[in-house]
Chain A
Amino acid sequence: MIRFIDVHKSYRVDGRDVPALQPFSLEIADGDVFGIIGHSGAGKSTLLRMINLLERPSGGRVEIDGTDMTALDESALRAQRRRIGMIFQHFNLLATQTVAENVAFPMRLAGVRDASAIRTRVDQLLARVGLSEHAGKYPSQLSGGQKQRVGIARALANQPSILLCDEATSALDPQTTASVLELLAEINRELKLTVVLITHEMDVVRRICDRVAVLDAGRIVEQGAVADVFLHPQHPTTRRFVGEALPEETVSAPLPGVRLGGRILRLSFRGESTWTPVLSRVMRETGVDFNLLAGRIDRIKDLPYGQLTLAMEGAGVDTALAALRAGGIEIEEITPGRSASIEDRA
């Protein structure tokens, strides 16, 4: 368990304290994939680095499994850091060392002297990230995705219980991003380690995170389970991020001048209800007509979900909504012209 307790951070610039993170408390449970999303400058990089104390909080405590990281002396802190792996946007591999030497590096730093033990572990790690045949190459001979895989293997070398990911996929193309995220999810599942990642892409959060915190100008403005935040974003910043991940909704928003009849409603299906024909049954039974304005069916990590924006007309709308709610569907009413995406575009 990672706990931030009343933590804040400010930097001294030209003799003035410039706040980077407003006081906040946050808990990250063991085994979770926890996403921190925010625009550049929102403070997410600072927040991530306070976990392994690459950045020291200006106040408050950071606890990992009950140990107050801020109270450790230098050598105790180094020992704790060995239990926390970290990967970086620009990989940060040693250019003069081979892939195998890069992966062995944390073990050498930790004082492992047994060369054959190191070799066995390196082989194992390279096999896990799919780079066995590249062991003797230098980083400059690898693609971006391969470099990040070396970074991941290196981060896992000392069997950490936490993996910190600093914009790990931001320098990669979409396909490579997908495969690196898959690898991270697999590692989280199989090694049961806690993953904390920062990103500015909601899609990264949607694909692999269990929980998410949204950072805006040094403040955590929203946090919760990814499905909740994703399907019911509250804060404008969150809505913008979700809007980025759901472009269809913005695209099919009604054009100016088009008058929509009836009531506009957003229906969210999650899990089982995504696959049952609740909507068509209720509409048939209540005689309500609907017009489909926007829709999407996808997955949030392993959870299937659907989100439909409908305009409903007819006398039985209220009865229909009650029946839909009973069928496990979440409903939000959006009056015309006040749809989140339209509002945000204005």
Chain B
Amino acid sequence: MIAASPLHSLFPNIDDWGELGQACIDTLLMLAGSLSLTVLIGLPLGVLLYLTGKGQLRAMPALYGLTALLVNILRSIPFIILMIVLMPLTYVLVGTKLGIRGAIPPLVIGAAPFFARLVETALREVQAGVIEASQSMGASTWQIVWHVLLPEARAGIVAGITVTAIALVGYTAMGGAIGAGGLGDLAYRYGYLSYKSDYMVVTVVLLVLLVQALQMIGDRLVVRLARR
């Protein structure tokens, strides 16, 4: 520790910058892990919602109703409560309720339904005429999803991934309060419970930077993919 460093004089209470660095890495790992699983689960779920919706290619009112109900239930539970409720399931899935691994199941279960709705909305933006044209060429439903819907909606889907990633940053910080680790954990334990407000300032600045970076990358990708 360097007592005379300018960082130390600015943030006198932060005496272990290594811990802060580790918290950053933990947050990023939780984000990467949960985001990739969210996309992996939410994308097919969004396609299912789209296809089975009223008047769509594979309209199935019962299945749509059931899926939509499940999605709405999961979306209406505040994340911090969802996390607590899911603890037994989390333990079964990953063998722990704590840390990065323990955080990922509730993060994914909380974010996937949200992302699925964004995917459904993005798919609905695809012109009905383009789908009709593909049908007239003898495309199967699967081919329409793979070759028409997903490519044509890709800009909207990427925008949805950006929004979801930012929501996940918020969830990871909340998760920190009940043992997930990461920046939220530091802010809560040191910044809130121990009145070390400099911890709070630093974590907030880091979170803002992270969100800004995500939004910027997302926006650039959307522009490149839009082609209109």
Contact = CB atoms under 8 A, between A and B. Distances in A.
Interface string B124-167: 00010110111111111001000110011010000000000000
B220 interface: no
A40 B60 CA distance: 31
Contacts of B225: 96
12 contacts: A54-B132, A74-B140, A78-B138, A78-B140, A86-B136, A88-B129, A90-B127, A90-B129, A95-B130, A95-B227, A97-B151, A109-B147
B75 to A, nearest CB: 29
A81 B133 contact: no
B137 A93 contact: no
Contacts of A52: 136
B85 to A, nearest CB: 41
B54 to A, nearest CB: 14
Nearest to B140: A78
Chain A at the B interface: SS class: mixed
Interface string A128-166: 000000000010100000000000001000100000100
Nearest to A110: B138
Nearest to A51: B136
A138 B227 contact: yes
Contact of A82 (B127, B130, B137, B147): B137
Interface residues of A, number: 30
A113 to B, nearest CB: 14
B136 to A, nearest CB: 4
B123 to A, nearest CB: 14
Contacts of A92: 127, 129-130, 132-133
Interface string A87-117: 0101011111100000001101110000000
Contacts of B135: 54, 81
A154 B137 CA distance: 9
Interface of A: 52, 54, 74-75, 77-82, 84, 86, 88, 90, 92-97, 105-106, 108-110, 138, 140, 154, 158, 164
Contacts of B134: 105, 109
A209 B21 CA distance: 75
Contacts of B140: 74-75, 78
B138 A82 contact: yes
A75 B139 CA distance: 10
Nearest to A74: B140
Nearest to B228: A140
Contacts of B227: 95-96, 138, 140
Given A95-B228, A140-B228, A108 B147 contact: yes
Nearest to B129: A92
Contacts of B143: 109
Given A81-B135, A81-B136, 6 more contacts: A81-B137, A90-B127, A92-B127, A105-B134, A106-B137, A109-B138
Given A93-B130, A94-B152, A84 B136 contact: yes
Nearest to B134: A109
B126 to A, nearest CB: 9
